[in-house]
Amino acid sequence: MELHDSVPLMVYDNKCYVCIKFAKLMNFLAKGKLRMIGHYTEFGERIRNQILEDDALEMFWYIDENTAYGGRAAIIPLLSAILRIHGKGFNKVTIQESCDIGCKDSLAVFFRSASLITHSRKISINNL
């Protein structure tokens, strides 16, 4: 996979209401200069299989040239990247709202938001 042409990027759960809202906010803050990839897209699946580990679906990921940051570990690198991203953005990103029944209720929102704090990973990808 030619990952270096696609970074920096954020991988999020494109079947989760809270995750979609978070991805839309990050896309707005990045002004379209950060690539957004859904976990359940073809490219997202390739990233999960080749770079990320078994618990990849439990959190969002920020991936740069050298490292994949997941969950809590991704917050500061993601915000830092948003502040320093310059140049031409990617194609206009349309983040689709698709969610299963029940994903918008308060309990689901609470558990998904809590997973951001409880899950954290950092994976070196220097060899790719």
Q: Domain total for the chain?
A: 1
Confidence label for 5 from pLDDT (cuts 50, 70 and 90): low
The CA-CA-CA angle for residues 51, 92, 126, to 5°, reads: 20
pLDDT at residue 88 is higher than 60: no
What is the distance between the alpha carbons of residues 47 and 63, in angstroms, rounded to a whole number? 10
Read off the amino acid at residue 36. Answer: M
pTM of the full predicted structure? 0.80
Q: Give the tokens for residue 27.
A: 């896309």
Q: Give the tokens for residue 46.
A: 């390739």
* Owning domain of residue 102: 3-124
Q: Give the tokens for residue 112.
A: 């998904």
Pairing of strands 35-38, 67-71: unpaired
Q: What is the pLDDT of residues 28-86, one digit of tens each?
A: 998 888 889 999 999 999 999 888 988 888 889 999 988 999 999 999 999 999 988 76
Q: What is the pLDDT of residues 110-122, one digit of tens each?
A: 666 676 677 788 8
